[in-house]
Structure 1
Amino acid sequence: MSDPIGSTGTTGSAPAGPLASRLTQSIKSTAGSLVSSVQPAENELTRWRRTFDKFAKEEREGKKYLSPSQFIDAIAPTDEGFSRIRREQYSILFRVADSAKRGIVSFEDFVVFETLLKRPDADYQLAFQVFDVDASGSIDFDEFKAVLSANTAASGIPFDFDCSWMKLYVGKRGGRHVLGYHEFTQLIKGYQGERLRQAFHFFDKDSDGYINPDEFQRIIIEIAGHKLSDSVLDRLPTLCTMNPGKKISYSEVIAFHNIIREMDAVERIINHAVRKSKDGRIDVSDFLNEAAGSMRYGMFTPMEADIIWHFASRGGVGSSQRLALQDFQALLDAKWQPPHIAVAPETTAKASFFGELAQSTYNFVQGGIAGGLGAFAVYPIDLVKTRLQNQRSTVVGEVLYRNAFDCVKKVYSNEGGVRAFYRGVWPQLVGVAPEKAIKLTVNELVRKKATDPETGRITLLSEILAGGSAGGCQVFVTNPLEIVKIRLQMAGEITRAGGGGAVPHGAVHVIKQLGLVGLYKGATACLCRDVPFSMIYFTSYAHLKKDVFHEGKRGKVLSFGELLLAAGIAGMPAAYLTTPADVVKTRLQSQARAGQTVYKGVIDGFRKILQEEGVKALYKGGIARVIRSSPQFAVTLAAYELLHKHFPYPFAPQELTAPRPTRAIAQDISRIRARNALRILLDCSSRFGMVDGQAAAKGVASLPAVLRA
């Protein structure tokens, strides 16, 4: 019959003879009982049909079928970075699904296969079917030996199937028994350990308990090559440098194998320890302490921890070395790629300067667009806030607006309807682009410079300073913009107070009237408002994203709604707590009418407002300011991040290391089980399913005659 175990070929004629009949009947019986025991829901059948139709391109007699390549496209999981399973190795599973051995999979076959994947032990079920060559429901010694021999022969490292370990499972020659499913699962789980022991013994010719570094490398590549990155595989021989003898002991081999086998636990412990660390770095003692505190029993020995540090530090001296999470990625991620330097350092430095300048300009433009969107969205609220803050209450009956709602009603009724709420909006939009662009760009630039490139950490003080720098830099643009906007927003009120005879002037008239020096009237108050606002705002925003919405945790990317909510919440305390400075700034920049108090400066403004109107006056328009600033910055920052995401800088250099695919991406559990089945097989040999024709032929030849029929 066609090779069922070793070669990568999957096509061929249907099996003939008594064996074929018995095999087909057994498969149909197994499939029937499986479907009846795990009956798929109607919506699952619809989903499977949709998947099948999407990939099935092979047609025979008017019916669609999946070829081996199409089947792999349909069932292979994507975006997993912790093992390197070759695409063609999924053809092993194709041979399980192709029950009739026709080289194609029908929809009925696909449903049976998908139903099998629904089982919680689907990974071991699939592995069992690979070894159960005659589909008898049990595996005998010859089947087990033939399948493994075919797939391990290429390694050149023999395995003694007549060993005492094997006899514990199947008995001695002449009295061997077959293995049922549950016995097989324990056998295949323990095989790798015995394979490791025998491989070490094979290379330890003089039985001194040591092997050469290159021999250790061959062993690990054979049994765990799919679990480690090329960087770690290339550096496996360096394990000998941990001891003076320049050889590798059996203890070290076992320790390294335990690290590989428990890699998920290693990663979890490292992540937890790094999160608890103040500087984002940990040493061996931190690792062992976290392991002891988070697990019921000590899983990792000091030798194993030292080996982890050896490979994470790339042979660095001393296990006391403090490492960042980034240092462990080469060990934790099988698809990790080392940094690559393409040009000379001096060329890189020059290119880096102009590249950063161009990227900052690009970010500046995006910040301007985002700022304009945010400003336009909340401009009517800003007008109401300005009117409320500017009205004085020193004279009885002078208060024009009782509250924000009253202000909205009177502006709408007396000043021309909806258009009145957008008086002065164009200068605001023209000015807000550079204002918000400066704020966003400076904050991002300072944060980037203050962030540890290895740990990705930034101190709270640096975050506050980054926000303050952004707020201080924007005043150069903000102050002229604000004073023109305030004069225009108050124009309708002044015109109405003057009996309607005066005609409100535009922005150009206000600028000419104020002059260059006048445009910066109230700049100190503007600084007093914008610097603390940005300190509070950007720091709160960053921590809301990280600590409340868990951005970056397990690769999580925030949705637009989460970004909007984080930005909106961050704006509330920032807006309200800086209202007093905003009130003083508004009073200084607005045009005082006859009989109203004139303020000489910021301190004088605070003092006179407190004396004449009390503390409450300093928080006039505070709620309106929260209502305006919170959504404005929510829209601005959410838009800015979305622009960054969907329209990234097109000439940005590639990351130095390949980004690690995240496990947070939702995966169909069936796809994960299919992958895990292959991992069980690859733990026997990293070449499983990739053997050449000669090795496959030897494997088949070792089968009993009835199985080679």
Structure 2
Amino acid sequence: MEVDGFVSRRASAETPGVDSRVAGAAAGAEIRWLGGRILDASGGFVGSLSPRMTAEQDFAPVHRAPPEAPSSVEPDIDYEGLPQGVPASTHMLAGSVAGIMEHCLMYPIDCVKTRMQSLHPEPGARYRNVMDALRQIVQTEGVWRPIRGVNVLAVGAGPAHALYFACYEKIKFSLSDAIHPGTNSHFANGVAGCMATVLHDAIMNPAEVVKQRMQMFNSPYRSVLDCVGSLLRREGPAAFYRSYTTQLTMNVPFQALHFMTYEYLQELLNPHRQYNPSSHVVSGALAGALAAAATTPLDVCKTLLNTQEAQAIHVIQAEATTAGGAVGAAAASSRHISGLGDACRTVYRNGGMPAFFKGVQARVIYQMPSTAISWSVYEFFKYVITKRQHERLLRGDRDGDK
């Protein structure tokens, strides 16, 4: 009888035709017997054997598609959303490693940015551009000077970024499902970035204060512990959070713009959301550059609040003394710059509108590779962790079939 162009023929079990067909299938894969059907190891249907009263067997060859690609080809893994049930510690581990690498690798550029945002730089700390700054710092202050204070940043960046990415992923998926189930919501991405930033900055702000104090030209602190102790004695615990609200004011729009731009670029460059390192690098770099340029004025104010630059405070004290006489002099003697409004006024008095964009070049140069590194490392860890979960599930399914 003719079926799909193939003819079913009767042959005995010893017929060479049957043996050759079965052996041919067995040569490339293990043969399994299941209910009168012959299957290869991948589950493909090779043929069937129906028992007879005689020694003969019916062999019904069935046409089947060519075998799947060799097992060396990786299966398509949906890594964008980690497997269901993966604990938050997975995101926290990936985020922690990403944050530490991001800040530590780009720390010398961050040091240059801090100095270039000084409102009244000393003669030895006036630089034409980022490379000129690095060259001068190394020549005049030593090769290790650009990374002084990196240890406190590494200690702060680990837990800060762990909470940051874990919170971001949780809120992003929960809110996206609530707004548009099964789709990516830019609004959800922005809200998730903002909420994650609140946790991140609460941990990171004290580390930022110590780091920037040690990055300044002629910093008087011998070490991180010396800086922490001096701040506690002279300015009290409030010094570590004097710029917190300003940092939030800067980072909330920064991260909202950053995440929305990154997700938008991913939709353009990587619409299937597969693991694609080049798309993560490009999307992260462009998103970081745009967000950094837009929020530079707030970053200048944050740097001023963290460093309490002596020359800028001296200018404000002189103005207060002139305007208020003895009362103004008494108030100015113990003055600290506090709050975003005070910082904005101080920046404007010391340099006008151009002062709000001091160090914008260094900030963009810092953020582009920084965010590219952060996203690349984070997406890589997500991919590796998801791949291992996927392989464990496959092994469990195979063991269950045995």
TM-score of the two chains, using structure 2 as the length reference: 0.70
Q: Would the aligned equivalents of 2:106 and 2:366 in 1 still touch at CA under 8 Å?
A: yes
More strand by share: 2
1:567 aligns with 2:284: yes
The partner residue of 1:446 within 171, 191, 206 is 171
Distance in 2, Cα, partners of 1:628 & 1:542: 21
Give the match for residue 695 of structure 1.
none
Give the match for residue 91 of structure 2.
363
Give the match for residue 436 of structure 1.
161
Distance in 2, Cα, partners of 1:524 & 1:610: 19
Give the match for residue 413 of structure 1.
139
Q: Would the aligned equivalents of 1:450 and 1:458 in 2 still touch at CA under 8 Å?
A: no
- How many angstroms does 1:12 deviate by? 3.8
Distance in 2, Cα, partners of 1:8 & 1:624: 81
Identity of aligned residues (%): 25
User: Residue 478 of structure 1 aligns to which amino acid in structure 2?
Assistant: M
Give the match for residue 73 of structure 2.
none
- Deviation track 1:27-65 (CA, whole Å, cap 9, x = no partner) reads xxxxxxxxxxxxxxxxxxxxxxxxxxxxxxxxxxxxxxx
Cα separation, partners in 2 of 1:649 and 1:390, compared to 1, 3 Å: farther
- How many angstroms does 1:608 deviate by? 2.6
- How many angstroms does 1:530 deviate by? 1.1
Q: Would the aligned equivalents of 2:270 and 2:276 in 1 still touch at CA under 8 Å?
A: no
Distance in 1, Cα, partners of 2:384 & 2:250: 33
1:68 aligns with 2:58: no
User: Residue 609 of structure 1 aligns to which amino acid in structure 2?
Assistant: V
Q: Would the aligned equivalents of 1:427 and 1:481 in 2 still touch at CA under 8 Å?
A: yes
Q: Would the aligned equivalents of 1:470 and 1:531 in 2 still touch at CA under 8 Å?
A: no
Mapping 1:681-692, distance limit 5 Å? none
User: Residue 16 of structure 2 aligns to which amino acid in structure 1?
Assistant: S
1:494 aligns with 2:218: yes
Distance in 1, Cα, partners of 2:231 & 2:10: 82
Q: Would the aligned equivalents of 1:391 and 1:400 in 2 still touch at CA under 8 Å?
A: no
Distance in 2, Cα, partners of 1:8 & 1:625: 80
User: Residue 424 of structure 1 aligns to which amino acid in structure 2?
Assistant: G
Between Structure 1 and Structure 2, whose CA radius of gyration is higher? 1
- How many angstroms does 1:651 deviate by? 7.6
1:621 aligns with 2:359: yes
Q: Would the aligned equivalents of 1:383 and 1:421 in 2 still touch at CA under 8 Å?
A: yes
Q: Number of paired residues?
A: 318
Distance in 1, Cα, partners of 2:254 & 2:103: 17
Cα separation, partners in 2 of 1:532 and 1:399, compared to 1, 3 Å: same
Mapping 1:325-336, distance limit 5 Å? none
Cα separation, partners in 2 of 1:462 and 1:414, compared to 1, 3 Å: same
User: Residue 102 of structure 2 aligns to which amino acid in structure 1?
Assistant: G
1:475 aligns with 2:201: yes
Distance in 2, Cα, partners of 1:560 & 1:606: 40
Mapping 1:604-619, distance limit 5 Å? 604-619=342-357
- Deviation track 1:563-619 (CA, whole Å, cap 9, x = no partner) reads 112111111111111111111000111042254556332112112322331222111
- How many angstroms does 1:452 deviate by? 2.0
Q: Would the aligned equivalents of 1:367 and 1:441 in 2 still touch at CA under 8 Å?
A: yes
- How many angstroms does 1:382 deviate by? 0.6
Cα separation, partners in 2 of 1:362 and 1:8, compared to 1, 3 Å: farther
Cα separation, partners in 2 of 1:433 and 1:68, compared to 1, 3 Å: same
| Structure 2 runs not aligned, ≥5 long | 1-5, 31-41, 49-58, 66-83, 317-335, 394-402
Q: Would the aligned equivalents of 1:551 and 1:558 in 2 still touch at CA under 8 Å?
A: no
Q: Would the aligned equivalents of 2:283 and 2:372 in 1 still touch at CA under 8 Å?
A: yes
Q: Would the aligned equivalents of 1:511 and 1:519 in 2 still touch at CA under 8 Å?
A: no
Give the match for residue 192 of structure 2.
466
The partner residue of 2:111 within 359, 376, 383 is 383
User: Residue 409 of structure 1 aligns to which amino acid in structure 2?
Assistant: R
Q: Would the aligned equivalents of 1:563 and 1:634 in 2 still touch at CA under 8 Å?
A: yes
- How many angstroms does 1:425 deviate by? 0.7
> Secondary structure of the residue that 2:187 maps to in structure 1?
helix
Q: Would the aligned equivalents of 1:392 and 1:596 in 2 still touch at CA under 8 Å?
A: no
User: Residue 642 of structure 1 aligns to which amino acid in structure 2?
Assistant: F
Cα separation, partners in 2 of 1:87 and 1:482, compared to 1, 3 Å: same
User: Residue 514 of structure 1 aligns to which amino acid in structure 2?
Assistant: L
User: Residue 402 of structure 1 aligns to which amino acid in structure 2?
Assistant: R
> Secondary structure of the residue that 2:117 maps to in structure 1?
helix
Q: Would the aligned equivalents of 2:269 and 2:279 in 1 still touch at CA under 8 Å?
A: no
RMSD, aligned CA: 3.6
- How many angstroms does 1:506 deviate by? 1.0
Q: Would the aligned equivalents of 1:584 and 1:602 in 2 still touch at CA under 8 Å?
A: yes
| Structure 1 runs not aligned, ≥5 long | 16-65, 74-84, 93-146, 153-225, 227-354, 496-501, 656-709
Q: Would the aligned equivalents of 1:391 and 1:399 in 2 still touch at CA under 8 Å?
A: no
